[in-house]
Amino acid sequence: MPTRNELKELAKLRLKEAETLFEAGLYDGAVYLSGYVIEFALKARICKLLDTSEYPYSGKLKSAYAVHDLDQLLLLSGLKEKINLAPVELYANWSITIPWSPEMRYKPKGSVSKDEAEQILNAIRDKPNGVLRWIMKYW
């Protein structure tokens, strides 16, 4: 299973990949990968919270931690209350990212417009209220 540091690096890599897809006009793929940016960042935070080097992805803990739901991962990361108290801009960015799910991979080409994809990418990377930047404070 991935380590905390590997999850951090994967989050940053997936953001670069999503940006590259966006620049190439592949908006569906950009949005799809954007969700994994947040998923991996939250999973890195969970590793820190649990004081474990690897993400708990097997055994008895699998049913609780082998998830892709961003809201559930936010809760598991211990950051749910913090985001509720966050600046309105950060909370708005979080609201833009949470509709993501891995099932987006089945959506037909053209399901995401350029504007939608740009809004989601900006919600993740925005300075100073981007979701990734915020999670990075805690991972």
Cα dist. 54→4, 74, 116, 132 in Å?
6, 18, 34, 20
- Rounded CA gap, 55 and 1, in Å? 6
* pTM > 0.85: yes
Domains (range + CATH), the chain:
4-136 (1.20.120.330)
Mean pLDDT of 19-25: 98
Mean pLDDT of 15-41: 98
Does residue 63 register a pLDDT over 90? no
* Contact by Cβ (8 Å): 41, 139: yes
Q: Which residue has the tokens 């939250």?
A: 42
Q: Any residues with CB less than 8 A from the CB of 126 and at least 6 apart, and which?
A: 89, 93, 133
Does residue 120 register a pLDDT over 80? yes
Residue of 43, 38, 59, 53 whose CA lies nearest to 102: 38
